[in-house]
Amino acid sequence: MSNDIHVRVRKLVGDLVPTGVRKVAAADRIVEDLGYDSVSIVELALALEVEFDLSDIPEEQAMDLVTVGDIEGLVSRLTPSQP
């Protein structure tokens, strides 16, 4: 996985934590550990789309997104690898 994606996803997720900006780890769970609620999840999804130019994400690829690491994996699969 590209280190750049890994860093950018963690920065974005950490910046949008509802209780305030914090450092996040791959194992942090989005809802249980970071406190994301339904509104902030939508906000995060829209921010990810803009940041990584994502569109038409197949449902089967986006199932079971529980942790920050899961999001990193998804973005990495959907983002063309850099030369």
Partner 1 sequence: MTAPTAPTAEPRTTEAAEVIDILGTEGTEVTDATTGPGRDVRAHRLPGSRDLYNRWEKQQWSIADVQVHRDRERWLALRPFARGQLFEALAELEVGEVCVSRTLSGLVTYAPNDADRIYLSTQVADEARHVQFFQDYLHFAAGEEQTISEAGQQGEDSAYGRLFEPRLRASIDRVGELDGDLTAWHIAIIEYHLVTEGELAAAALHSTRQLARRLELTALQEGLGNVARDESRHLTFGLAVTRRAVQQGRAQTVYDVYRDATRLAARVLVNPERRAVAPALPTALVQRAAQMRAQWDLTKDRALRQLRLIGLPELHQELAVAWEDACTRAMAEYAEIWGAPHPVAKVAENAKGASIQ
- Given 37, 53, 64, 70, the catalytic residue: 37
37 is catalytic: yes
Given the rule CB under 8 A, which residues bind partner 1?
Answer: 16, 37-39, 41-49, 54-57, 59, 62-63, 65
Contact 27, 69 (CB under 8 A): yes
Of the pair 64, 83, the CB lying nearest partner 1 is at 64
In angstroms, rounded to a whole number, what is the distance separating the alpha carbons of residues 61 and 58?
5
Assigned token pair, 60: 């089967």
Least CB distance to partner 1 at residue 45 (A): 3
Give first-to-last CA distance, the chain, whole Å.
Answer: 13
Residue in this structure with the two tokens 């994301």, named with its chain if needed: 36
Least CB distance to partner 1 at residue 75 (A): 10
Least CB distance to partner 1 at residue 37 (A): 8
